[in-house]
Structure 1
């Protein structure tokens, strides 16, 4: 009797689907506050770029590199967008981001430019705030962070480490 119960439990454990692996933790960025970011902060958004072509090319690179696609919607006028860009450029974080994500920045002006991109992913014609980050599975072209696209719109209220940890939520 003991053997059959043990064998049955063992069979159940083997039959269960494996739990998803935990996210790949973001590295310690080594910067305690935004005041310590290198100055001037980056101006990551090109208002002259062909955003559709840039997203298409980034998606192809993401597929080829087995990465997630990270579409950063924002504008150079936005302090929170620039703080996020400066954080991503930190020497301890940048290689980690490059390993997990294919990043493409899309200038949405003052919510009046390139808005077909968030619409395509079900965000609507106007994100709630910027930066708005779309984490996309390039294999399925599906948004992974629905409902949390504008979570970093008040990035200045976080720390650089909190921004890095936010990015780690979708990585494996």
Structure 2
């Protein structure tokens, strides 16, 4: 008896079920970043000490764990256009609602890749970040990095669509 067709069908059904289980991304109200409100935000606290950053991450992780949400750590700098595009997109009402529903966010200034690098190092990222913004999506119950190998996926945010940015955030939510 050939089990290959049955196994293939079972795998297809499992994949379809997993795809349906994912939370849909919000429909983004803009099609181009040129439609973002200007000036774009400067979200990173450049004066925050390493101790203040560590405390903010710990507090956000505890809130995420208590609320059953994921922890979203945004690593970047105000000098970075892609970081500011991300921040402007996250300021859209539909994105704010989505992030507030599924994540607890903490924003960490990494300077020019020379500050607060203890945060990514905690999650095994000890080499220089591939770019910013880098997002660490963490399961706060296990303190495990969920998007290993994809943390710098949005470092070219300005060449993505606003909807693809929303889709990226949605793919980690169950």
TM value normalised by structure 2: 0.86
* Equivalence for 1:117: 119
Give the alignment's Cα RMSD to 1 decimal. Answer: 1.3
Q: Deviations over 1:16-72 (max 9, x none)?
A: 9xx656221111111000000011111110012221011001001101111000000
* Equivalence for 1:67: 69
Choose the corresponding residue for 1:144, options 143, 146, 151: 146
Q: Deviations over 1:54-103 (max 9, x none)?
A: 10010011011110000000000000000001101101111111100001
Q: Relative to structure 2, which stretch is displaced further, 118-127 or 65-74?
A: 118-127
Choose the corresponding residue for 1:92, options 73, 91, 94: 94
User: Are residues 1:167 and 2:169 paired?
Assistant: yes
CA distance in 2, matches of 1:23, 1:81: 26
Between the two proteins, the alignment pairs up a number of residues equal to 155
What is the SS of the residue equivalent to 2:116? coil
* Equivalence for 2:35: 36
Structure 2 unaligned spans of 5+ = 1-13
TM value normalised by structure 1: 0.87
Structure 1 unaligned spans of 5+ = 1-15
Give the helix-richer structure, 1 or 2.
2
CA distance in 1, matches of 2:110, 2:158: 20
User: Are residues 1:51 and 2:53 paired?
Assistant: yes
